[in-house]
Amino acid sequence: MSETGLNITKLGLVAGDGLLPVHVAENAKKQGFEVVAFSIGTNNRRELRTICNDQFYEVTPGLLEQNLGILKQEGIRHLVFAGKVNKWILFKDPRMDKRALAVFQALHRCNDDSLMLGVVKFLKDEGIDVLSQTRFLQEHFMPERVLSRQEPDGTEASDIEYGFQMAKEMGRLDIGQSIVVSQGMVLAVEAIEGTDECLKRAGKWGNKKGGVVVKVAKPEQDQRFDVPTVGVKTLKTMRRAGLRVLATEADKTLFLEPDEMIAYADNHHMVITSVCFSTQREVVSSASLESFSP
């Protein structure tokens, strides 16, 4: 039995791009799991191969029958998703077998949650449980506090409050988890393009003159997939776009490299703050929308 209390020793990891799958694989191994990687991403394959001792497969998401065969061949009964695994993959590689088409056609909507829940149900029906990635990443969540040396000024604090309200509504609609606000105006909202492209677009419309990035969990966030995540790359993209403040939801946002992020922010006079949404909601509800006017 592993240190997590699960009566399993073998874990399948469906890995998208980025550092998050690497952290999950490393921590799962430390907890006593044998990890088998099923790679959808492309920029972390070398690291995953090493961590997983070459127990590694490159897979096409839409070939469910083939992928299920590999899972059963490997004796996988528990999976974890990590990295950005959502519907954009269908545009990148649209190949789907009959099983995938059946899952897709049974959906009422094709938003991220509906698609992932359809896949989770398919796996459950085949005797495979999907675990929360947060089980392997607890040390990467930040409590409510300002993490950087610099704090938000008055205007930025108001933008954070407004941004949290708007970001939560966007999350409720399952559009995205990030929003960029400057002087009470929404510059950009994340959709299928992902956070980095949203930040670049905000920099264009804000003329690189500052702005607040707010990233939150969806009101009914399923922690088995698509947990909001930030890293040094987020800050570098923000800086190039002229955005100064990153506000994340406390205890619900994953920080890939917290120490490195804080050092980067301090070196470049940026702000990182971890905020409790309930606190922000109370502040926002007591103020009028006019107070956010530029």
Per-residue pLDDT of 156-172, as tens digits, reads: 999 999 999 999 999 88
pLDDT at position 253 is: 93
Mean pLDDT in residue range 65-84? 92
pLDDT bucket at 87, cuts 50 / 70 / 90: low
CATH code for 141-292? 3.40.140.80
Nearest-5° Cα angle at 252, 79 to 210: 125
- Tell me the C-alpha to C-alpha distance, in Å, between residue 108 and each of 111, 112, 117, 162: 9, 12, 12, 32
C-beta of residue 224 within 8 angstroms of C-beta of residue 133: yes
How would you class 105 by CB atoms within 10 Å of its CB: exposed for 0-12, middle for 13-18, buried for 19 or more?
exposed
**Tokens of residue 167, six digits:** 């970001």
pLDDT at position 93 is: 62
Each domain of the chain, given as residue ranges in start order, spans 10-136, 141-292
pLDDT at position 286 is: 40
Rounded-to-integer distance, Cα 127 and Cα 77, Å: 7
Give the contacts of 194 (CB within 8 A, at least 6 positions apart).
Answer: 84, 88
Give the contacts of 241 (CB within 8 A, at least 6 positions apart).
Answer: 199, 200, 202, 203, 204, 206, 208, 211
pLDDT at position 185 is: 94
Nearest-5° Cα angle at 84, 129 to 116: 40
Q: Is the pLDDT of residue 244 over 90?
A: yes
Q: Is the pLDDT of residue 58 over 80?
A: yes
pTM confidence score:
0.79
Q: Please state which architecture CATH assigns to domain 10-136.
A: 3-Layer(aba) Sandwich (3.40)
